[in-house]
Amino acid sequence: MKLRAELFQNINPLLDDESLLREALDFIKSLVSRKKEAAPTVSVQHDSDEEIEAGLRQAFKELKSVKEGKLQTRDFFEVVNEL
């Protein structure tokens, strides 16, 4: 809140000078534009029902193999420590 108040106090004198006000406005627009460019874009990829079903089937097959002793698993912390 203090930062906002300080910003408005510093902008107030510019309101009387059109050329300074225009320069400040252009600068603010460039800051906003820079922020938009820097913002990461997130694209969400939706899997089809068939892809989700196939992934679940594969996961259950692997789980079954683990239970039968055919597939070895690793401890979570062991994997994290490798990273």
Q: Pick the residue with more confidence: 61 or 82? A: 61
Domain ranges of the chain: 2-38, 49-82
Concatenate the DSSP letters of all residues of the chain into one string.
-HHHHHHHHHHGGGGG-HHHHHHHHHHHHHHHHHHHHHSPP----PPPHHHHHHHHHHHHHHHHHHHTTSS----HHHHHHH-
Average pLDDT over the chain, rounded to an integer: 83
| 42 or 58, higher pLDDT | 58
pLDDT > 70? residue 39: no
pTM assigned to the model: 0.40
Q: How confident is the model at residue 18 (pLDDT cuts 50, 70, 90)?
A: confident
